[in-house]
Amino acid sequence: ELPKYVKGIEGGSSKDALLKGTIRVDYTVSPRGRVRKIRTEAIPEEFTDMQRMVHREIRRRVFRPRMVDGQLRESEPLNFEHSFFYRQVDLDKLVKPGESAKEPAPSDNNSRT
């Protein structure tokens, strides 16, 4: 399904208001340039499909490894943050009937390693 473009974030009803979500990825890069120790977190946590997609894309990347005194080394922990906008009605579609959407707050419940 193609993305739906909205005219703006001002005006309209509150159900059409755009809210900000974030996918955060923490990882290291091995001496061979591969991603290691990857951990992802979605806020709000109901966006698990987007979280999986970002996790998979970061995992596929090959980076230039860190070099110290001519030797390849594992990198220090790195992080990447992907911000996106969504409507409350889109979040409501992801919540199972009988449950309520949680307030966006950092948590490690959806972390992947």
3-state helix, strand, coil in the chain (%, to 5): 20, 35, 45
What order of strands is seen across the sheet that includes strand 78-87?
A: 35-43, 18-29, 78-87
pTM: 0.65
pLDDT tens for each residue of 71-88? 999 999 999 998 988 888
Task: Tell the CATH topology of 16-94.
Answer: TolA/TonB C-terminal domain (3.30.2420)
* Domain ranges, ordered by start, for the chain: 16-94
Give the model's pLDDT for residue 48.
Answer: 86
56, 66 contact by CB (below 8 A): no
22, 82 contact by CB (below 8 A): yes
